[in-house]
Each structure stands twice: as structure tokens, then as C-alpha cells.
Chains A and B, each alone.
Chain A
Amino acid sequence: MKSALTRRWAALGVAAGLALSLAACSSADSGSTGSSSAAAAPSSAAAPVTSSAAEPVTITLTWWGGDARHERTQQVIDAFEAKYPNITVEPEYTDWNGYWDRLATETAGGNSPDVIQMDMMYLASYAGRGALYDLSSVSSLDLTTLDSTLLGMGTYDGGQYAIPMSATSWAILVNTDLLGQLGLSLPDTETWTWDEFEDFALSITTASGGTVHGTGPQINAYSLDLWARAHGDATFSGGDITIKPETVASYFQLALDWSKSGAMPTAEQYAETATAALDQSDFALGKLAMIFTQSTQGAAYAQAANANVQLVKIPTDDANSTKYAYLKPGMYWSISSQTKHPEEAGLLINFIENDPAAAAILGTERGIPANPAMVDAIQGSLTDAEKQAVAYAESLASVIGPAPEITPNGASAIDTALTRYLQDVLFETSTPLVAAQAFIDEIHQGIEAAQ
């Protein structure tokens, strides 16, 4: 008697379980409309809007970042609203990890924020799919103030789809306090080679008895591209990935050698902390004496590690005779093609880029401003670490080459793929050359699928 019930019960439970698992899958696919965006503007959509329109307008501004950036950006919004009382700016912010999921979902649902903080890896993916507004037709935006090389890195297929906010460069950040404690001092870093770098990193590990490691790996699209350019190659050309497998393999080999010699932590130690937040990273905790990072992150790391830091050039094998380097836009501003208020959105970007009041609030938190006049305007109020970043960028002048091609449409996942294949190499489940070829194939397929 009871077992008849049990059987029914089982069947019911199975049905419910299946339905639940289906629902769980479908909620990921449905691209349900982003609900958090409160972008709906109160003004009538049909009326043509001009920058002088007195009617109230609401625009949404979205960015990724940490707490410091959220606070500073909110202050800029307050200053902007005070200057343009008819415009209300709704902030929408998150950290990097959730940012792109959310932006894609909102865009798919027709709720895209008006002003979008954009990254080089995603610019072509959004511009190429018609999600961005061509900024050259926005009259409220003054682009003549910006560095032209940087500005060029905001174009896609002839359109100006993004305005660089800042410039950053690749560097090695050294914890000089830690070196002092270990009784070590930096060698000549102006012309050091990769071998000299590894020897020095190893001497740090040895001197500390293994509690501190010399260096972390370098693992992102920017550093791969610099490595390629220093070796007469380039990651992208003609809108596709064209880097040679040997170039990627030698880039992987570098980290593998360091990991084996002890200059760098083991694969396992690295994997554990690879995704840690900045203030929980090994450098911040004093377990790494050197890391590869963007020069403009130096101030944040110095604060997190509570130590004196120094930015030094990355090694080369030809004493810096190749013009391999370039300043990378730290981030951009874009306007959504769904916006009903392009002129007001342009006004906001113009304020952030070109108004000394905004520059004073933002400092170098987003990188060194792309507008040189703003760099001069804030020079006096910079901290030592921030001044170092500015000086470091200037010190690169002799190795700055032509601007690279931006990441093509469909290759936005390049950083995560690179990290994954490096782990395969470090855990020795793959050889550098095999991993390099697989990496190139994967990126190539992504680009092809996006066409």
C-alpha cells in the first residue's frame, strides 16, 4: 500500500527534479533582460535632444572597478550634475568579473547603459556588432585634446567607437623594502636581459630561504603582445591572430623555467592565488618581491603591501634597441548605440576627459589621463607612487613603437584562454609548443565564428 505511494512520489520527484534542472539551464540561456538598469529616461524619446536642452534627462553610466574608483566616480558625477542641472546620471558599477556578463545581457535586452567604460579586449566585439555609437558625430565631445596615437586605438573599421580614458604601460613592480630586508639590491634594470632577470629573481628566493619568491609570471594579452613585438612578431594583424606558435611557446617557456628554477612560485602556489583580489595577492602579502603589472597599478599595490615600491623596465634581449613598447589605453569610454541621448552622454564623457575639476577628483586611479593637459593639471597633487607611474611612462619614450591592432571581434576571451594554457604548461600536462598551437587555434576559431 505505502509502496504504491512511494512509487508515485518517486515519479513526481523525478519530474520535479527534471523541470528544475531544465529551468536552471534555461535561465542561463534566456538572456533575461537586465533588471537593474534604471536607464529609462523621463523625457520623450522622439524629441531631438541637444546639449542645451533644458528638459530633464537621465543617462546611465556604467564602469567596473574597486571601491576607490566607485567613490571617485560618484564625486565626478556629483560635480557633473552640479554643472548641468538638467542631466541626472545613474551610476551602475561592479567589479571586472561580473561586468561583461551584465553588459552583454543588458545590451541584449535593450537596456544598455548610455555611457560604458570599455576595454580594448571587448571594443571590437561590441563595435563590430553594432552596439556602439560613432563618437565622431557627437558634437558635445571634444576629441582634439587627446593624444592621437591613443585616440587611434579607439577606432574600429573607420569609426571612433571609443575614447581612451587613460594610458598605461607594462612594468615590473619591485618591493624595495623586501629587497632591503634580504640584503639585496636591484641590478642595472635599464638594459637587463631575461636571463639576468631570472638570476636576480632566483637570488631573492634563495636569500629568503623560500619564504619569498623572486617574481610572479607575466600572463595576459598585453605582455604576450610586447613579447611578440620584441621578437619581431605581433599578436594580431589583418583582424586575425597571426602570432607564430614558436613565439607563444617561448613566452610559456619563460614561466615554466622560472617555476622550475624557483625564481617563481610552483604551479600549485601560483594557481591558488592567481585569481585573488589585489589586496590578497602574493605581492600585497609580501610573498613576492617582484610582479609584472600595469605601471598605473603601482600605487594600489604599494598601498596594499604597505611598502615602498619601484617601477622598473621589463627585460629585453637586445638592450632596448627594438621599439617594442606601446602605451595601452587603460580603459575607454563608449556610448551605446541604444542611447536616446547621445549629446548628453557626450557631455558627460567630455567632462570626465577634459574638465580639470574631474581630473583633480580622478587622479591617476584609472591610469594616466589620455589628455596631456589634464596630466599637467593634476601633477601637483600626485602621490609619490603616482608620480613614479607618470615618470615611468616618460622613460619608455625611446622604445615606444607604432600602435598595435586592437583585439579583434570574437577574441575577447584571450586573457582567460592564455591563463588556462599557461596552467597546462606549468602543470606539465602540455608542452609549451602544443599549448601554444592550441591557444592560437582556439582564438582563431573564436574570431572566425564572430564574422
Chain B
Amino acid sequence: MSLMELQALARDRKKAGPRAKEATPDNKAALVFLAPWLIGVAVLTVGPLAASLVLAFTNYNLLQPPKFTGLANFARLLSDTRLHHSLEVTFTYVVIGVPSALAVALLLALLLDKGMRGLAIYRSIFYLPSLLGSSVAIAVLWRLVFGGQGLFNSFLGLIGIDTQKSWIANPSTALGTIILLHVWTFGSSMVIFLAGLRQIPREFYEAAATDGATTWRQFRSITLPLLTPIIFFNLVLGIINAFSAFTQAFVVSNGTGGPSDSTLFYTLYLYQEGFGSYRMGYASALAWLLVVIIGAFTAINFWASRFWVHYED
């Protein structure tokens, strides 16, 4: 079925209005086919989710049965200075990392959209970091690149800046290197941008060119507005992913969030509380706070989208 047909179908359904639910044989068969996935979701996702919500109201050290403590864990959220610091670190990462990655992704998508030769190869090369970016191996590599004797300093040496500075081990630059790692994984957004650019009808550009619009003008008045739904999509997904970032910080700092807590990401702190200090009840409360934060960010995003996202209906 082509996309057009699918859309037509969706439109028809809309026109037909809400229909009473019927348990046709088709639906039953669908349920049977979905069963493996549904069971997986129930056992591996919904079950633990519910359990963690219950645990958030308890004192649970893993070794003894949980003890109900009411809102004590949530009260502690307010006074926990390390938590507040980890929020600061995570917000910095999200606020700088996500837009930077999107800007790079959009820029490269625009370049690749020119239809150069060997496009498929470039696209694959640029996409590669996205596949590798959250892997342990790359995070280990990052330590080596930005260490005191690392590649980055060797490169600086080549252009005449001689330094032994360890970018990973300095509290003022350590977070920057992890943000850079995030920006480097722009590939998946880039591929989505590319797909979005392909959807913009060529006639628009032709008409604009006839009217004497410059390339910049075309970008600002055609590309950007028509691309806003895609930008929005990438932004929302990017923010959600960035908030749950864990591997990079864990490996780059060897699980400490150091130096001096400068890379103490929210999820890393959650992990330290749960598995380092055996405060699983508090860690569960932290997890649910993160859900609320991500939910709030997403809601705000959706609300704000009506002011800048342009749907071509």
C-alpha cells in the first residue's frame, strides 16, 4: 500500500466518524498475532513500571522487603543538593546539546539534498556515529581523544597550540566533551531531515526562483516553514533522548560523574543511588521525577508548537 492510499484511508475513516467497537474475527486474529509483543510489554515494561511507582513510596535496600514510608522519598527530592546539581548538569546538556545537534543535522541535510554524486555513501558515513554514539566503545574512545595525551591535543599541537590540558578531567570542560559527543551523533536527525526535504514540492522553488528569490530567501520562506513539523519531531525526540542519556557519562567518568560531579547526569545519579547506595526506593522516586520532567518538557513543546510549527493543511 502506498503512502497516498494510506492517507486516503485515514481520511475516509475520519469522515466516517466514530464507530462502535466490534470484536470481529479480524480483531481477534490481530490480538493473537500481537500477543508475543503484548506479553513482552506487560511483563518487561508495564510490570516493572508499576513496581517502581510503588517502590517510590518505600524504603527499599534490595536486601530486605520494602518498607512503606509515604512521601519521604519525595520530600528528600527537595533537599538533595546532589540531585539539584545533577539537574543542572542534565539541563545544560539538553539545552545546549539538542539544538546544536539539530543545527548540524539540518545543515548537512541541506548540503546532501543538493544531490551530489555518491550521496548514499556520504549519508551512510554521516549516519554511522548515530549507531555508534551511545556505545561503550565510543565513550572509551572519547576518553582517549580528549585526554591529556589525546588525539585532540595532538591536533591542537599541529596548529600551533601546545597543551597538555585534559579535557575529560577538568570540571569546566568535561561536560563540554560529552555534549560534543552528543552533537556528533546528528545522523539520525539528519536522515529524517533529508526525508523531509524530499517532501517539499520542487515547484515551490521553481516559482520562487522565477520571482527572483535568493537562495537564502528560498530557505527562509519555503524550506524552513515547510520543514517545521520535521524540526518539531526531531526536537521532541532529541529532548527525550538527551534527558535519558546515561552510557556516555557513565563510561567517560567511569561511573563517578566526576571530575568533581561535573558530569553527574540525572540517570547516572539515579543509578548511583539505586545500585551504589542501595536506596532503590529513592531511585524509583527519582525515576518518576524524570518521567514528570520529560512529560512536562514534551507538553510544553507541543503547546509551543502551535506558534511556530506550520502544518500545510
What residues make up the interface of A, taking CB atoms closer than 8 Å to B? 1-10, 13-14, 17-32, 97, 100-101, 104-105, 107-108, 125-126, 129-131, 267-272, 274-275, 412-413, 416, 419-420, 423-424, 427, 429, 446, 449-450
Contact = CB atoms under 8 A, between A and B. Distances in A.
A334 to B, nearest CB: 13
Contacts of A131: 63
Contact of B233 (A4, A13, A25, A30): A13
Interface in B201-247: 229-230, 232-233, 236-237, 240-241, 243-244, 246
B279 interface: yes
Contacts of A105: 62, 275
Given A2-B7, A2-B199, A423-B260, A268 B52 contact: no
Interface string B163-188: 00110111100000000000000000
B124 interface: no
Contact of A25 (B4, B255, B287): B287
B169 A268 contact: yes
A5 B52 contact: no
B233 A9 contact: yes
A147 B158 CA distance: 61
Contacts of A22: 45, 49, 291
B261 A129 contact: no
Contacts of B170: 268, 271
A177 to B, nearest CB: 22
B48 A27 contact: yes
A64 B148 CA distance: 30
Contacts of B312: 2-3
Contact of B256 (A101, A126, A275): A275
A28 B250 CA distance: 14
Contacts of B236: 10, 13-14, 17
Contacts of B61: 129, 450
Contacts of B291: 21-22, 25
Contacts of B62: 31, 104-105, 107-108
A166 B255 CA distance: 29
Contacts of B24: none
Residue of A22, A129, A450 most packed against chain B (CB within 10 A) = A22
A130 B45 contact: no
A99 B140 CA distance: 20
Nearest to B258: A423
15 contacts: A4-B313, A9-B233, A21-B243, A23-B44, A24-B246, A27-B48, A29-B274, A29-B287, A30-B48, A32-B48, A268-B165, A268-B166, A272-B168, A413-B272, A424-B261
A8 B9 CA distance: 14
A449 B311 CA distance: 53
B307 to A, nearest CB: 16
B279 to A, nearest CB: 7
B290 A25 contact: yes
A260 to B, nearest CB: 17
Residue of A20, A25, A31 most packed against chain B (CB within 10 A) = A25
A418 to B, nearest CB: 12
Contacts of B241: 17, 21
Interface in B1-49: 3-4, 6-7, 10-11, 44-45, 47-49
B70 interface: no
A3 B169 contact: no
A424 B260 CA distance: 5
A269 to B, nearest CB: 7
B229 A30 contact: no
B230 to A, nearest CB: 7
Contact of B52 (A3, A4, A7, A30): A30
Nearest to B4: A1
Nearest to A446: B277
A420 B274 CA distance: 18
A20 B290 CA distance: 13
